[in-house]
Amino acid sequence: MDTVFRLGELFCGPGGLAWGAKNANVDGMKIEHAWANDYDFDTCQTYIRNICPDNPESVYWEDVHTLDLDKLGAIDALAFGFPCNDFSLVGEQLGFKGKYGPLYTYGIKVLHRYKPKWFLAENVGGIKSANEGNAFEKIKEDMINAGYRIYPNLYKFENYGIPQARHRVIIIGIRDDLPYVFKIPSTKPYEMVTCKEAIEKPPIPADAPNNEPTKQSKQVIERLKYIKPGQNAFNADIPEELQLKVRGAKISQIYKRLDPDKPSYTITGSGGGGTHVYHWEENRALTNRERARLQTFPDDYVFEGSKESVRKQIGMAVPAKGAKILFEAVLKTFAGIEYEYDEPSMKE
């Protein structure tokens, strides 16, 4: 029986998936980092510092378009959270026609080249409807043609005890010459964790990294005074001089306060002012460390780069403890250990 799976990662981000893999352990079976790739320099530095500080040369800071796949080396498992901008429900949803849409094909190339025993692919829920649903069908078809049985599911991380409503399509693939059948890990063992619990219990240490206070303009502070927990800039009763003069779409997360009795709304990496996630009580945006808590990164996980770069990295990551749950389900599958499972679902 396999005891160690060597994991390669494309579009590795700051290491949410990698932390989950590194900390997954089932009856002595574990997952070890082999190599990783991302096009963003700060992201790669964060990954190296937290995941493989003794092996920095295994992280390739490079655009995947020019990455030499042959130099990466043999792996037993692949993870790729391929960039989701063109599949997101926020934005134009260009799908395959967009700059980022075809990037999943590099994961397919790695599957053909190295034939790992299993893979985990992650993307936003909006991928289901991109290009009238054709994009998702094509992606699944390519994975099957690469030699894998696939197990797609829409995971709602708040149902797994993650303090954030984050819905992601994740596909587990198992090489089709292997006898294992993956089951969706059950949500039953988990209780809801509120954003307030996640941020306040235990208190964030005074010397925690990436916890610089946020600076708000006087106007933003005044606007926030009128926004109640769970409200945003468009459904709160705000005086006209403080209202946003925005035409077109009114994104529900603009200056939205957290509801302390619920998980957070989705932490994002993109967007300007008003999208930084706002405290339920204090008139300010969350610090990056508070955002990292909602993504279930431990407090000693240090993000490299500017404050804005760190904000983007945290928003783009997979919740670290959510990743651990999924990787442990894979390990149990390969160990032949039965576990509680749910029926797959792609419904919101």
Does pLDDT of 95 surpass 50?
Answer: no
| Whether this model's pTM surpasses 0.85 | yes
Find the mean pLDDT for residues 233-258: 82
140 occurs within a structural domain? yes
In the chain, DSSP assigns E strands to 4-10, 25-26, 29-38, 59-61, 77-80, 118-124, 148-156, 167-175, 184-185, 341-342
Catalytic residue among 12, 44, 52, 84: 84
171 occurs within a structural domain? yes
Q: Identify whether the C-beta of residue 182 lies closer than 8 Å to the C-beta of residue 176.
A: no
Q: Give the closest residue to 85 by CA, choosing from 75, 99, 71, 73.
A: 99
70 occurs within a structural domain? yes
Q: How many domains does the chain divide into?
A: 1
Residue 75's alpha-carbon distances to 25, 64, 78, 178, in angstroms, are: 18, 18, 7, 16
148: domain CATH number is 3.40.50.150
At 234, the pLDDT band (50, 70, 90 cuts) reads confident
238 occurs within a structural domain? no
At 2, the pLDDT band (50, 70, 90 cuts) reads low
What would the pLDDT profile of 176-208 be if each residue is shown by its tens digit?
Answer: 999 999 999 999 999 999 999 999 999 999 899
Find the mean pLDDT for residues 97-107: 68
Find the mean pLDDT for residues 102-110: 88
DSSP three-state, residue 137: helix
Half-sphere exposure of 312 (CA within 13 A, CB side): 15
292 occurs within a structural domain? no
240 occurs within a structural domain? no
Does pLDDT of 135 surpass 80?
Answer: no
Tell me the residue range of the domain where 151 lies.
4-191+317-342
Q: Is 195 a catalytic residue?
A: no
287 occurs within a structural domain? no
At 131, the pLDDT band (50, 70, 90 cuts) reads low
What would the pLDDT profile of 12-60 be if each residue is shown by its tens digit?
Answer: 999 999 999 999 999 999 999 999 999 999 999 999 999 999 999 999 9
46 occurs within a structural domain? yes
Question: What integer pLDDT is reported at residue 337 of this predicted model?
Answer: 97
Question: What integer pLDDT is reported at residue 341 of this predicted model?
Answer: 98
Burial (0-12, 13-18, 19+ Cβ within 10 Å), 38: buried
Mean pLDDT of the chain: 91
Q: Which one-letter DSSP state was computed for residue 16?
A: H
Q: Identify whether the C-beta of residue 51 lies closer than 8 Å to the C-beta of residue 18.
A: yes
For 299, other C-beta atoms within 10 Å of its C-beta total 16
- % of residues, the chain, pLDDT over 70: 91
What would the pLDDT profile of 298-338 be if each residue is shown by its tens digit?
Answer: 999 999 999 999 999 999 999 999 999 999 999 999 999 99
